[in-house]
A and B are shown apart, each in its own frame.
Chain A
């Protein structure tokens, strides 16, 4: 039962262009969403988050959009840089779960020159 889904296993984008990574969830009890970035042989590192009371959160080149009615969120990276090449995981948590995160399967982003 995959409660958080990332349907695109990989994405290739040219340097300077926009990268859009998508995530869908099924559990309506989720109320906090996070994106993590993972390089090989390292643990995931926190990138950006959004609460369910918002529909957008921006941090520099990274923006997360949340559409609660569609149970969909997306991460926009503008402009994309070669150093952004990594696996991106969408994660969600709900009230009372003490920050226990449910992760998606990840999307591998490759930013080409």
Chain B
């Protein structure tokens, strides 16, 4: 039973550069979520997909952020023109089809440091 996989685990970049993260959900899960967690805070919702459709985006997701899930399988999260405030742990989660409250399965996250 493979869990949610995220790549890379760590990313260090300079301010102004673009970065892209990848998430591979559990194969039978049709819902995929991106969260961001900063030090001392809980995970904050960014966006979610049902299959390939991006159904909701948080106001935290500025126009420098874009997420895709082609073919409803893996997903990518791109941050353009990174800023120091983007430094955080980016978590991906997936869940199977079901009603509200279905528990999410999280990956280990990508730790982004913007210098």
Interface residues of A (CB under 8 A from B): 4, 6, 9, 31-32, 34, 36, 41-46, 49, 51, 89, 91, 93-106
Contact = CB atoms under 8 A, between A and B. Distances in A.
Contacts of B16: none
Contacts, number: 71
Contacts of B106: 36, 43-45
16 contacts: A4-B42, A6-B42, A9-B40, A32-B100, A34-B101, A36-B106, A44-B91, A46-B103, A93-B100, A95-B100, A99-B100, A99-B104, A100-B33, A100-B48, A101-B45, A105-B41
B91 to A, nearest CB: 6
User: What is the size category of the interface that chain B forms with chain A?
Assistant: 20 to 34
Interface of B: 4, 31, 33, 40-45, 48, 50, 55-56, 91, 93, 95, 98, 100-109
B101 A93 contact: yes
Given A98-B48, A98-B55, A100-B56, A44 B43 contact: yes
Nearest to B98: A99
A106 B42 contact: yes
A89 to B, nearest CB: 5
B44 A103 contact: yes
Given A98-B48, A99-B31, A41 B95 contact: no
Contacts of A97: 100
A98 B97 CA distance: 9
Nearest to B55: A98
The 10 A-B residue pairs whose C-beta atoms are closest, nearest first, are: A32-B101, A103-B42, A43-B106, A46-B103, A99-B102, A103-B43, A43-B108, A44-B106, A105-B42, A89-B42
Nearest to B103: A46
A59 B100 CA distance: 21
